[in-house]
Chains A and B, each alone.
Chain A
Amino acid sequence: MTRYVTTIDLRRCVGCQTCTAACKHANATPPGIQWRRVLDLETGEFPDVRRTFLPMACMHCGNPPCEEVCPTKATTKRADGLVAIDYDLCIGCANCVMACPYDARSIVHASHYAYGDQPL
């Protein structure tokens, strides 16, 4: 059976954040919710400074901590390797948000919209 994994080549990422925008667009996540963020990090002191781009997305971990802490089995690792969420089972406890080492989980408790307090 096909097994899916996520790979990111950090040598090639230029920090363009296009994947972030594309993910938000495809999944229509609300303002502030990014399922794929790219960190833009600086290390060192002038003039010896490095800039690193670090995409942060769900890695579909081999042994996912988010699955382990999920009390309702809303989060499960599927046979094909993907870690999926069943929104009907999720009770909003946010355990997975705290457990995920990649900061890939987010939780939305109230509706908010891109332009003002109403949908367009």
Chain B
Amino acid sequence: MGSVEGVTAFTRLVEHIEKYSPEWAEGICDVPAANIRRIAHEYLEAASVGATTVIDGVTLPLRPVAVILGKSVNNGWGAFECCWARTMLAVLVGALENPGGTLGTTVRLNRPHDNRHKSVLPGEDGFMAQKFNATDKANWAVKPTGRNMHKTLVPIVGNTAWSQALGPTQLAWMFQREQPAGSNMPQPTLPDVWFIYRTNPAISFWETQTLVKTIATFPFTVAFAYTVDETNYMADLLLPEATDLESVQMIRVGGTKFMEQFWDHKGVALRQPAVAAQGDTRDFTWITNELARRTGLLEQYNEAINRGAAGVSPLKGANYDFSLDPKGEHAPEVVWDAVCRAATTVLSEGRETLDLSWFKEHGFYTVPMSRLEWYLSPTMEKQGLRYELPYQERLLRVGRELRNRLHENKMAWWDEQLSEYAALPEWHDVPGRWDAALVNAGAKVEDFPLWLLASKSMQYHAGGNVGIELMREVSQNIRGHAGVIMNAKTAARYGIADGDRIEVRSHIGATYGAAVLAQGIRPDTLVILGQFDHWAQPYAKDLDMPSLNTIAPMSLELTDATGSGADIVKVQVRKIAEATA
């Protein structure tokens, strides 16, 4: 055996990062080098390196520091570098997945969805096994398996039900319209039948009007709905569904997923009707039962429920069996009764079995859980694994393989995206990408001097909540919810006063709202809370909210390697009318 010389990943990191000094950073952002140094030292001090805490008899590091990324830096170009840097900061002080350090850096693992610890298994190279989509010659999916091409283009999102959400959702829409130059991928077809359940894609992507036009061409759309919205407005078949307050369902409560490390109990809760279902609506379990029966899929449907498709536990395990007869028809109450029994048997490890009538009276069932479950690091240690930072060799390798596969198939249109497959990220001019995209779209950079970003207001800006008067009222307590947030000095330059109605225009369209003047926003940036252009959903459609989605383009050159884009668009602004008293 010969010997090889190497350097450690941390030596490589130190060498790599040397050129990115605070003084260098000061030159490309507004933050003075002295502030960057001060905050770095504060972070280090707060990390209390060396401190420990004991949880259920196990001694763990205590690192009460975290960096939380705001919206718009963790999607699209630049997100890889931001997320890498944020996670790296945690790694450097030993905070990743340890007590104190779990705000924002929690490692998300999707399989199995109820216990991420079970995903921590050694892979062939000593890091955690990852179910990437294949990039080797023999197994790469040269022919896309879906309209968003995640299996072909985005190895790191894997190939589960979640992959579309984690990966390139908008490609499916974009490529309906036009294929990238030089693409030799098959032209995506329209879906024969399109099912929509509790989602409103017609307003949830950029370039809303084009999206709506695409949806309108779908041959047959089926929507489950309890209210009119912008997508089911175009449905050929509407199946009236009862709301959550009118139907039965068992849901998980407590436990930890990838972002909720504060539960001491885990269990299940029964959602049951608080009022009788209105009009012609039906409980969703009734609807699915009927669909299965009428389409001749009853057996497969029952078997899926037996495997745990109702979302809690399989109905049959080593020491229990509440499974449904696959050939029979089962009323919703029968299904949920079996789910209640299976869930309690599993949670209590066989100590007790409780049925639907017990849940109707008691509502929920929980068992205590150890806080050790909050943190992944002890499990990593047990498996002899370490985190794949700072040097991401595997990412680099996967990217090279993908490049080879694409080039072998004469596809160069994903080359920019491939630049993100780096073991250690390099800085690149992220804002410059937006300027270049403007020029390529035939617009002038100087005509669109401001940035428009969308932000979120937790429970108020999205989904069905937008149509609830109570939520709307409370949302108005949140600064900026009423319109477009704008730096007060910038506004003065444009002659815009607080409350004035303004037009925010990009190269593809305009949106309108009231100016909300603030100090805590960059002078070159506008922010809209929420980004959904409601025109059909009752109540929400009359709120006259500005919307980023209406004026942000869907663009391949603004799509990153994961297939994601950012809620960012370059705009100009002008006053339309004085504030009304």
Contact = CB atoms under 8 A, between A and B. Distances in A.
For the residues of A in contact with B, the DSSP-based class is: mixed
Interface string A28-60: 000110100111101011110111000000000
Interface stretch (A16-24, A66-74, A79-87, A93-101): A16-24
Q: Which of B471, B488, B489, B520 has the most CB of A within 10 A?
A: B520
Interface in A96-120: 114-115
B107 to A, nearest CB: 23
B474 to A, nearest CB: 5
Number of chain B interface residues as a range? 20 to 34
Interface residues of A, number: 25
Given A18-B459, A46-B523, A47-B30, A31 B469 contact: yes
A93 B109 CA distance: 59
Nearest to A20: B474
A51 B477 contact: no
Interface string B451-462: 000000011100
Contacts of B469: 31, 114-115
Nearest to B521: A46
Q: Which of B473, B518, B521, B522 has the most CB of A within 10 A?
A: B473
A46 B478 CA distance: 19
B451 to A, nearest CB: 15
For the residues of B in contact with A, the DSSP-based class is: loop
Contact of B487 (A15, A37, A46, A114): A46
A31 B523 CA distance: 35
Nearest to B523: A46
A42 B519 contact: yes
B475 interface: yes
B539 A115 contact: yes
A100 to B, nearest CB: 18
Contacts of B479: 40, 42, 51
Contact of B475 (A17, A31, A115): A17
Contact of B520 (A17, A34, A39, A46): A46
A88 to B, nearest CB: 27
Contacts of B539: 115
Contact of B478 (A15, A25, A31, A49): A15
A23 to B, nearest CB: 10
A34 B523 CA distance: 34
Contacts of A51: 479, 520
A24 B518 contact: no
A36 to B, nearest CB: 10
Contact of A44 (B459, B470, B487, B519): B519
B516 to A, nearest CB: 11
A32 B476 CA distance: 10
A49 B487 CA distance: 12
Interface in B463-522: 469-471, 473-475, 477-479, 487-489, 518-522
Contacts of B458: 16
Given A40-B478, A46-B489, A115-B539, A21 B470 contact: yes
B538 to A, nearest CB: 8
B156 to A, nearest CB: 31
Contacts of A40: 477-479
A42 B520 contact: yes
Nearest to B32: A47
Nearest to B460: A17
A21 B30 contact: no
B245 to A, nearest CB: 12
Contacts of B471: 21
Nearest to A115: B469
Q: Which of A16, A25, A37, A47 has the most CB of B within 10 A?
A: A47
A2 B470 CA distance: 34
A51 B485 CA distance: 14
B520 A31 contact: no
A40 B478 CA distance: 6
Given A46-B489, A47-B30, A20 B520 contact: no
Given A18-B459, A42-B518, A42-B519, A32 B473 contact: yes
A119 to B, nearest CB: 12
Nearest to B31: A47
Given A40-B479, A114-B469, A115-B469, A46 B474 contact: no
Contacts of A44: 519-520
19 contacts: A16-B458, A17-B477, A17-B478, A20-B474, A21-B459, A21-B474, A24-B473, A31-B469, A31-B473, A40-B479, A42-B479, A42-B519, A42-B520, A46-B488, A46-B489, A49-B519, A49-B520, A51-B520, A114-B469
Closest 4 CB pairs of A and B: A114-B469, A49-B520, A40-B479, A49-B519
Given A34-B473, A42-B479, A46-B489, 18 more contacts: A16-B459, A17-B474, A17-B475, A17-B478, A18-B459, A20-B474, A21-B459, A31-B473, A34-B474, A37-B477, A40-B479, A42-B519, A42-B520, A46-B519, A46-B520, A47-B30, A50-B520, A114-B470
